[in-house]
Amino acid sequence: MHNLVYLIGRLVSDPELKTTENNKEYTTITLAVQRNFKNQDGIYETDFIKCSLWNGIASNTHEYCKKGDLVGIKGRIQVRSYEENKETKYITEIIVDKISFLASKKIEE
């Protein structure tokens, strides 16, 4: 079995560094990944994919990346669940093993 994901996309917002009760740093980012084909209206659609980063990867991403930056990630898909109001909710996300900072979006003045 193999669970491996590669994505290239732009950050939807600035990464926000958080710390768990066990003093582990983490951040959750959302990547905007444009599909490589057009829909029936001739428009490229975009998927917004939630990614979790831990420890050094999280702190480096927080320090060096901003909204709109282009990044590449390597990781694995994880599905987790929790109960809310007697209903099971599911979250699908990418657990990032490696991130590459590809390009910064220029700030328009």
CATH code for position 57 = 2.40.50.140
How many domains, in total, are found in the chain? 1
Distance CA 58, CA 66 (A): 13
Give the domain range for residue 17: 5-78
Low-confidence ranges of the chain (pLDDT < 70): 106-109
Q: How far apart are CA 48 and CA 26, in angstroms?
A: 19
Three-state DSSP at 55 gives helix
Single pTM value for the model: 0.84
Residue 83 lies in a domain: no
pLDDT confidence of residue 106 = 61
60 in helix, strand or coil?
Answer: helix
State the Cα–Cα distance between residues 29 and 49, nearest whole angstrom.
Answer: 8
Q: Is residue 18 part of a domain?
A: yes
Give the residue among 63, 38, 45, 43 at the shortest CA–CA distance from 53: 63
pLDDT for 107: 53
Q: Is residue 55 in some structural domain? A: yes
